[in-house]
Amino acid sequence: MMKKTLLKYISSLLLILPILAHAVWFQGEGSAEINDGEVDQARHKAVQNALLGLMYKGGASIRSVQVVKSGVLESDKLTVRTNGEVHDLQVMREHLTHDRITVTVRADIFPMRTCNRDNYSKTMLVGPITIQKREQAQLGGIYDLGSTLSEQIYQQLQISNRRIDARHLMMTPIASLSDRRHQNQMLQVARSLSSQNDVQYILFGHINDLSNYTTTQTSQLTGVDDITHHRGFKISLYVIDGIKGQIVFQKSYSTNQKWSFDPTRKVDVEGDVFWRSRYGKAINYILQNAIQDIQVGLYCQQTLADVVGIDDNQLVINLGQANGVQVGDTFKLMRTRYLISQDGAVSSPVFNNTESPEFKVVSIQPDRAILQADRYSDMANIQVRDILISATQLRGHTEQMNY
C-alpha cells in the first residue's frame, strides 16, 4: 500500500546511468524533511534525492521517455525519463521519524548510448531575477522576491554542486535586462559577466506573473461571505553559455495558490512564515524542479576552461579540484574564430580543436589548475582568455564507444 501511495506522487524520475552493455541494478538512498506533517510530499522529495544520487554515480544524458512495464511499477504505468530502458524499480526500505523520512530505492536499467560529455562540473554565476510588473508585487510588498529567489537558487546549487559549481551570486538588477524580449542584450551581458567572473554559465530569470484575485463563497447556514485570496506565480529561467554566447537552457514554471496573508500586511519573503505558507511551498517546489532541470539541461554541454594566467611554459585555467580536475588530466587548445555577417555584426565564437596542442595538469588548487606544455613552441600565440577543452575525457569516451 505504501509503495502504491509513493508511486502516485512520482510523475517523472530522472536517472543517469553508466555506459555498459547489459542491465545493471543501481541502489541509492535519499532523505527529506517533513514539513507540517506532509509525509507524502516529503516521500516524493526523498525518492527524487535518491535518484539524483544515482544520476551522479553514473554518466549519461537523458534522452527518451519510456513507460515502466514490469515489476512493482507495472500497474501504475510510471513514466521515467532516462537514456536507457528501466526494467524494474523498487522501494526497498523506508525509515520515518517525526521530522524526516529516508528511503532506499533500487532500479534495474539497460543503458543506451550517451552524449559526448565530460565529468567536470560547470562554473556558474547566478544572476538577478527581476519582477517584470512591479505593481503586482504591491500585495504583501514582496518587491524583494526576485533577489530572494536568486539567493535561494545559489544556495541550493552550492549544496548539490556535483555537476554545477556556483561560484558567484549577483542580486543587483541589471537595467538592460528589464525587458526579457531583448535576447541580444541578455547575451551581451552574459558574455561580459562570464569574462569578469571567470565562469562559463550565467543564470538569469524573470518573474512574469504575481497577479492576484479573490473568490467569494456564501455560507448557506449563516449567509456570511467567505472571501479567499489567490495569487499566481510564473517564472522564466535562462542559462547562457557566456563563452559561446548561446542560450543553453530556457524554461518557464507557474503555479496558482491561496494567499493566506492579510491583504494589508507586508510579508517578509526571507522569513520562515512565508516559506511555510502554501504559496511559499509551491514556489520552493518549483525551484527544486528547476534546479534539477538545469542540471539535466547542462549535462551534455561541454565544460570549457578559460586561460586566466600564463607563466613561461605553463598555463593557469579557471577549473580546479572543486570541478573534478586531477593531476595528469590533459586539455586541448580550442582555436577560436568569429564570423562577420554582411551588416557587420559579429557572430558567437566558432571553436575548432583539430590538431591543436595539448597541455597536462601538473598542479591543482580548489578553483585553479596549472598546465604544462610538452614543447615550448606550443605556447606560441596563446593569450589570456583563450579556451581549453578536456582531451583526457574525450579520448576516454572515444575508446569506450569503439570498444
- If you write DSSP's letter for every residue of 195-250 in order, what string do you get? HHHT-SEEEEEEEEE--EEEEEEE-TTT--EEEEEEEEEEEEEEEEETTTTEEEEE
* Residues of the chain falling short of pLDDT 70: 1-24, 51-89, 107-117, 160-162, 175-182, 219-221, 223-225, 335-355, 392-403
Amino acid in position 358: E
What is the structure's pLDDT at 344? 52
What is the structure's pLDDT at 270? 95
Measured between its terminal Cα atoms, the distance across the chain in Å is 45
The span from the CA of 278 to the CA of 282, in Å, is 6
Quote the DSSP letter at residue 46. Answer: H
Given a contact cutoff of 8 angstroms between Cβ atoms, the answer to whether 258 and 230 are in contact is yes
- By CB neighbour count within 10 A (0-12 exposed, 13-18 middle, 19+ buried), where does 227 fall? exposed
The span from the CA of 32 to the CA of 51, in Å, is 13
Cell numbers given for 330: 590533459
What is the structure's pLDDT at 277? 93
Sign of CA dihedral 321, 63, 112, 55: positive
The span from the CA of 301 to the CA of 239, in Å, is 12
What is the structure's pLDDT at 168? 95
DSSP run (H or E) holding 150? helix 145-159
- Write the pLDDT tens digit of every residue in 123-146: 999 999 999 999 999 999 999 999
- By CB neighbour count within 10 A (0-12 exposed, 13-18 middle, 19+ buried), where does 398 fall? exposed
Sign of CA dihedral 142, 147, 153, 154: negative
Residues 6+ apart with CB under 8 A from 337: 349, 350, 352
Torsion of Cα atoms, 239 then 243 then 245 then 249, to 10°:
-20
Residues 6+ apart with CB under 8 A from 178: 130
Given a contact cutoff of 8 angstroms between Cβ atoms, the answer to whether 24 and 16 are in contact is no
The span from the CA of 191 to the CA of 306, in Å, is 13
What is the structure's pLDDT at 288? 86
Quote the DSSP letter at residue 384. Answer: T
